[in-house]
Amino acid sequence: MIVTLGLFVATAIAEITGCYLPYLVLREGRSAWLMVPAVLSLALFAWLLTLHPTAAGRVYAAYGGVYIAVAIGWLWLVEDIKPTSWDIIGSAVALTGMAIIMLASRASS
Domain count, the chain: 1
pLDDT for the residue 107: 56
Instruction: Identify the CA nearest to 38 among candidates 14, 73, 70, 60.
Output: 14
The model's pTM is: 0.83
The radius of gyration computed from the CA coordinates of the chain, to the nearest angstrom, equals: 15
pLDDT for the residue 105: 60
Residue count of the chain, please give it. 109
Q: If you average pLDDT over residues 82-94, what whole number do you get?
A: 97
pLDDT for the residue 63: 86
Residue 106 predicted with pLDDT over 70? no
Specify whether the backbone of 31 is left (phi greater than 0), alpha (psi in -120 to 50) or beta.
Answer: beta
Higher per-residue pLDDT: 105 or 28: 28
Domain of residue 98 covers 2-107
Q: How confident is the model at residue 50 (pLDDT cuts 50, 70, 90)?
A: confident
Q: If you average pLDDT over residues 68-80, what whole number do you get?
A: 95
